[in-house]
Amino acid sequence: MWNNGKYIVFLCAVLALNACHTSKKMAETTTPKDLQYAGICEALSKFQPDWQTIDISRMNLNIQFGGQSFSTKGSLKIIRDSVIIISVQPFAGIEMARAQITKDSAVIIDRFNAQYFAENIKSIAPIFEFNFLQSLLSNSFFAQNTDNKDLTKKLFAVYSYPDGCEFRAKNAVAYDFNFFVNKNIQLEKTIITDKTDPYSLTCEYSDFAINGNFEFPNKMKFIVFDGQRPQYAEFSIQKIDFNKTVNASFSIPAKYKKADIKDFKF
């Protein structure tokens, strides 16, 4: 059974991104149509988002967690291979919680209770890898202990279907990874399954559109199964920018008290 801290890290993938509700023209397909030809991995590598920063300054979140459902607003900032910052703002200009995730630490500020949680990532989840979460939030492929762009047949087994194909990561240690791609070379579903406990995370992507130089999903849905019942989060983004300067400042108020992350409640 996972401890609370490990479950929180697994759930962190749910507390972030979704899609573009801005008035964007739907993407015109410029990617290969026929997945029966050789070079699928190379094509996928070519069409992976090539970004350095993602700034989602306004988004709506619909969350079902612990038997309760609620909607709120938030923001998400990512500096590639460096930091992810998530802010939850139920009222305009009023922040309830903020989380900073790096390659080695997770810090959550709970402004409602004037407290914060700070832990070394490996002490919470020994097999945690920053690129898992970063890739989920950027609609990208990934594999354990590998570079995201290294999409070769040495890493994945490929299974073709009439409407697309499935990539299964080889030699996964703690988790199984399954990626489902449609005929337009769009990653429309990722499934991560714990190999020892009945936990899984499913990410569904849809309504792809052109955003600047990128094709990006307009909708994302994250479904966490904890062995008893599914929890989910759906997100809608009002404003998203790629490759612009991101303000990643993060500070803990001096009067806030440090709390045990095992007591964290969402």
Question: Can you tell me the distance from the alpha carbon of 212 to that of 72, in angstroms, rounded to the nearest whole number?
Answer: 27
pLDDT at site 16: 32
pLDDT for 115 equals 93
- Exposure string of 172-208, with b = 16+ CB inside 10 Å and e = fewer, is beebebbbbbbbbbbbbbbbbbbeeeebbbbbbbeeb
Residues with Cβ < 8 Å from 28, sequence gap 6 or more? 210
The pTM for the full model equals: 0.78
Level-2 CATH architecture, domain 4-25+33-263? Clam (2.50)
The one-digit pLDDT tens for each residue of the chain (266 residues) are 344 443 433 444 344 322 222 233 333 333 334 444 345 655 665 666 778 999 988 888 888 877 778 788 889 999 999 999 999 888 777 888 899 999 988 898 999 889 999 988 777 666 667 888 888 899 888 765 555 455 555 677 888 888 888 888 887 777 888 999 888 888 999 998 888 888 888 999 988 888 777 788 878 899 988 778 888 888 888 888 889 999 888 999 999 999 987 776 65
- pLDDT at position 80 is 94
253's CB contacts (< 8 A; 6+ apart) are: 109, 114
